[in-house]
Amino acid sequence: MVQSKRRFFIALLPPHEAQQYARKIQQHFAEVYNSRAAQKSPPHITLQPPFEWEIEDFPKLEQILTEFARNQAPIPMILDGFAAFKPRVIFINVLKTPELLAVQKALMDYLESSLGIVDEKSKNRPFAPHLTVAYRDLTKPNFYKAWDEYKQQKVHFEFLIPQLTLLIHNGKYWEISKEFPFANQE
C-alpha cells in the first residue's frame, strides 16, 4: 500500500561547525549512555513539531513555506551551555532571542491560518528552543550520570540561520526534504 500521508516537521538547522559539535555529543551519548534516538534527525531547533501531511498536497505546503520564509530575515542564534528537561532530555541550550521567538510564533500562526496545521501541546505551553543531544531512550539512571558530566560543560556558538528547513520521516529517520531561504538569501 502506498502511503498517502507522511510525517514532517519544520526546524532551523545550525551551520556545519555547530552540527558537527552536536553530532559528536550525540555519538558520545550513544557510546557511553546507550542513547541513540537523537541521532535519527540532523541536529536542529524545532519550530513546528511533527505533523502529518498528504503527499498529493505537498506543493501547497512548499508554496506556503516559501511565502513565509521570503518575509523573514535571517535569524541570529546563540547556543550557550547545556540544559535539561529532567529526567529524560539533555540539550544544548538555545537562547530565546526576540527574533527566534517572533519567527516561531509567526510560523505557528501562519501554518494554522493557511493550512490548518496546529500542534495543541505547543499552542498551550511556552516555546522552549533547544538542540537535543539525548532523549527518549536515555534511562533515568543514565540521565543523572550524563547530567553530572554535562551540566557544567561550556559550549558557545553564535551564527545567523539563513533558511527554514522542512524535514520528512522516511520510515526510519528524519531527513531534509527542502530548505526555504529567508529574505535576501536566494
The terminus-to-terminus CA distance of the chain in angstroms comes to: 38
Q: How many domains does the chain have?
A: 1
CATH number (domain holding residue 46)? 3.90.1140.10
Give the residue numbers spanning the domain of 77: 5-181
Asked if residue 186 is part of any domain, the answer here is no
Q: How far apart are CA 5 and CA 62, in angstroms?
A: 15
Q: Percent of the chain beyond pLDDT 70?
A: 98
Q: How far apart are CA 107 and CA 122, in angstroms?
A: 12
CB 148 within 8 A of CB 32: no
CA nearest to 91, candidates 80, 105, 107: 80
Query: Tell me: the pLDDT tens digits for 127-170?
Result: 999 999 999 999 999 999 999 999 999 999 999 999 999 999 99
Task: Say what the pTM is.
Answer: 0.94
